[in-house]
Structure formats: C-alpha cells, structure tokens
Amino acid sequence: MKRGVHDIGGLPNNQIDQSEHDYALWEKRIDALLVLLASEKQIMRVDELRRGIESLDIDAYNELSYYERWIASIAKILVEKDVITSTELEARMAEISTRKTTS
Amino acid sequence: MSHDHHHGPTIDPERLAYYQRMATAVRELLIEKGILTDAQIVATIKKMEARGPALGARVVAHAWVDPNYKTRLLLDGSAGVEELGIPVDGTRLIVVENTEEVHNLVVCTLCSCYPRNILGLPPDWYKKAAYRARAVKEPRAVLAEFGTVLSDSVTIRVHDSTADMRYLVLPARPAGTEGWAEDKLAALVNRDSMIGVQAAKEPEQ
C-alpha cells in the first residue's frame, strides 16, 4: 500500500531543526476555530481535520506551514458539510483582499 | 522527491496572505451565520494561552513526592491529572515513567497530537517531518541531537500518539533533591523533559 503524504514514521530524514517561534495571532485564531468547531459546536471532528490535511497533495502538504494546512482543511470540511459554500468563501476572500488592512 | 523539502516549510508572503485571507473569511462567515462569536474565539485563545508546561511540572513534582499519587497517575493519567484540577477534555492521557532502565520518548508520527491541556501548544520541531520520521526509527540519535546521550543498557520506548490517546513522560527525579518542596521540584521539570527528549534539570551545585 502506498503511504499517505502524512505517513512518514520511520522514513529517513534530516537533522532536526530545533528553532521555535511564538505563535502569531492568526495561528492562534485558526487553532481556536478548530477547538470551538470540534469541542463546543461539534460541527467537525479532529479526525475530519486530519482527513482534510492528509488529502492535500504532496507538494501542498510539504510546502504549507502548519496552520496553513489547518485552515485549508477546515475550509474544505466546512464546505463539504454545507456550513459555508465555496462561492461565499471565494467572494469573501476577494472582498478581504480589497480592504486596506486585513484583520 | 522532485524537490528538496528537507528545510521544512518556508513562509512565502503571498501564499501566507492567501491563507490568512482564507482564515479571516472562514472566521467572519462563521460569526455572521451565528455559529461562533468573536468573544468565544477570544476566550478560547485565552484559555489556550493559560495552558503550558507549568501544569505538567506540577503533576510531575506531585508524583515525585507522593508515591500513592504516582501509582494512580501511572494507572490512569487522565484521572491523575484531573485530581489536581487540570481538565483533560475527554482525551485519554497516558503517563509513562522514566527510570534507570527505561527512557520514554513521545512523538506523533502522523501529525502533531500532543498533551496540549497539560503542556500547551507543541514546539515547532515536534510538528515537523524530521522529528516525526526519525523518532521511531533512530531514537538514540534523535535524543543525542537534543543533548541526551543514554547508555546502551537503557531501553528506549517510543510512544506514537493519536488524537484520542496522548502521552506525558514522567521524568526521573534528579538525585540530590531529597526533601525538596514540590514548588522547588517543579522548577526542575521543563517541557522537553515531559516529551522525553531531555532529562529533568539537575539541581545546581
């Protein structure tokens, strides 16, 4: 069976980069979205977040940073569940890019 | 591989702006639909920020001074942690003890599962490919990169976490701390010692 993009346990890899960064507000907000959607609202589960992440194509999986993968997955799952539509998501993203400063 | 991804994800400003827009859009739409409120998001972030390795250090120090508590904690990590008033929110927590013979190391090979209720959010390296790939294959080499060199006689047990089952390492109590109060002991317990990449700090001479 072919390994999924996320299934990397035991594969060779490089030295561990031990540098750390403080989480930025946008990252904390994405984390909070998932916590609320999963625990409080029970709209999507952590398993579904994982499925969304693991179904990214390999380049996206390897290139995106951690919370970029999360929001890509959250958006995908919410569209799947008809909580939001892809049309309104795209429209809102386009509108946000015309704002002077994004919040 | 068609490209070199070993340096890990780099932040591309244009791409980042795209995903930040997506995050803002999703958040705004959920708020407008009445599914979430901004106040809930703020409160959730606050709650998350309040959780960190100090909670885990309290658990470890208490286990070091109270053998009966340690027994309970090793039998049922979730119940043991909740006994100290720390909620685990439904995930199963397993506490594994380091001794002279056994050293435990925690990883999540598939993603980034981590006892976040007790340790806060995981460090970047815990979530990146190099640690996830190598910890289960060559734990001694991984430990050495974190400055932890173990004798060949020590058995290393690597625990692969899942979303529903998370691990906390109970590091060995350093020698020379007999009779210490819990607060003083807790100061020797850092995050990395509870992931298992390091030992607890030694008391200063």
Q: Is B153 known to be catalytic? A: no
Interface predicted TM-score of the whole assembly (ipTM), two decimals: 0.92
Q: Rounded mean pLDDT of A79-87?
A: 97
Write out the E strands in B138-179: 155-160, 165-170
Q: Rounded mean pLDDT of B128-156?
A: 97
The CATH topology of domain A45-103 is Cyclin A; domain 1 (1.10.472)
Active-site pick, B78, B108, B161, B193: B108
Which candidate in A3, A6, A15, A17 is best for mutational testing of the B interface (most B CBs within 10 A)?
A17
For the record, the structure tokens of A17 come out as 């980069």
* Residues pairing with B83 in the sheet: none
Q: Determine the residue of chain A that is closest to B40 in CA distance.
A: A36
What is the spatial distance between Cα B110 and Cα B123, in angstroms, rounded to a whole number?
16
Which tens digits make up the pLDDT trace of B64-118? 999 999 999 999 999 999 999 998 877 899 999 999 999 999 999 999 999 999 9
Which tens digits make up the pLDDT trace of B182-191? 999 999 999 9
A31–B125 C-beta distance less than 8 A: no
* Residues pairing with B166 in the sheet: B93
Mean pLDDT of chain B: 93
Which chain B positions have a beta carbon within 8 Å of A9's beta carbon?
107, 109-110, 132-133, 136-137, 160
What residues does each domain of chain B span? Answer: 13-48, 52-195
How far away is chain A from the Cα of B66, in angstroms, using its nearest Cα? 33
Q: Rounded mean pLDDT of A19-30?
A: 95
Decide if B174 contacts B166 (C-beta within 8 A). Answer: no
Phi-psi region of B139 (alpha: psi -120 to 50; beta: other; left: phi over 0): alpha
Which tens digits make up the pLDDT trace of B146-185? 999 999 999 999 999 988 899 999 999 999 999 999 999 9
Which chain A positions have a beta carbon within 8 Å of B148's beta carbon?
none
What residues does each domain of chain A span? Answer: 45-103
Instruction: Point out the least confidently predicted range of A17-21, B9-13, B113-117.
Output: B9-13
> Which among A20, A71, A83 has CB closest to B124?
A20
Tell me which of 1.10.490.10, 2.60.40.650, 3.40.50.2300, 3.90.330.10 is the CATH number of domain B52-195.
3.90.330.10
Report whether pLDDT(A10) > 90: yes
Q: What is the dihedral of CA B106, A41, B22, B131, to 10 degrees?
A: 0
B134–A35 C-beta distance less than 8 A: no
Residue with tokens 């708020």: B31
pLDDT at position A43, please? 95
Which chain A positions have a beta carbon within 8 Å of B14's beta carbon?
none
